[in-house]
Structure 1
């Protein structure tokens, strides 16, 4: 291959990586705030939409009501205080939601089945436009962040809710390496602050929060609390 053409192709792939990452990071911050923590007005509008509004209402229930409100109530790294507490939540989900996918997704900690598609669906139109109007190497480069996007919630997120020792004991060797990186230690602190203060730090793929003015840095008290819980930080 012509070296000039190879260099141009590599530059386009790198441009695609940057574009894809920016898209999913901005999308994550916006959608996390607007859908997973939807306002009362948005939820009422979704109810009026009937079937079309159910995905948003389900996402809100799984994330804000269950993950933030009914689990991890006393500790960022302990989902339930007892088996009885978990069983009560299972009954509540069965009786009021009729949606066992919330349980399969470990009460908002991970993604399962159609939840993966629902998670990426809002950003897919952007990538369809990239494929239609941008050079193939750019579109190809953008696909990697699109794949990493759901994996950050499905694979990484559970470890952010474990004490460091437990996370390292459960993780595979590649995951142990990842958990030890400065980036994941930063994301662990970032995510803790989202649970503590909620209306900030929506990203697991960081950048969108900063660009949208939703980034919060930890205080000394925050850091002391994280260390007291044995977190990855």
Structure 2
């Protein structure tokens, strides 16, 4: 059994990855979160891009635990805000992980933006770092996923977190938070990125 660390304290992300690993029948992989390993210093997310933050978090986790580690950085890029909140999505209202505050602030900023200009995309970068005998042989893989849609004016649904309740994917009338977990996994930004990592996880399991 190969132990894989998902470098997050976000329970929703941990559930998603475990669900995807199970859905594709990937055996021999046990997925743990940061709460299930000894604590180590976690550097702040200071990268200018999702990829920079994801790689930094995965490197820190792999170095501290010796485990193959996945980290993702994801967020919402709003067309009318020139791609913001972007890498600041989780702390847009000033406090990291304040979903309600982030939603309230973003909706207030978009209050006067007409429906036809409320386009947005969820973006995810996911990094896998597999520690080797030395830093020179450490394996690093970075993949990306994007999910286009539009933003509605009031939250709907309870099957998600973050900005899910106001994001309606292209071709849908339901918000991301109104989709079932399986529906979301099949099309979401994080689902697309993590699926791109599955061949590398299969190699670890083998």
Q: Which has the higher contact order (CA 8 A, sep 6+)?
A: 1
Give 1 or 2 for the bigger CA radius of gyration.
Answer: 1
Considering the TM-score relative to the shorter chain, is it more than 0.5?
Answer: no
Give the strand-richer structure, 1 or 2. 2
Classify the TM-score, shorter chain: under 0.3
TM-score scaled to structure 2, two decimals? 0.26
TM-score scaled to structure 1, two decimals? 0.24
Give the helix-richer structure, 1 or 2. 1
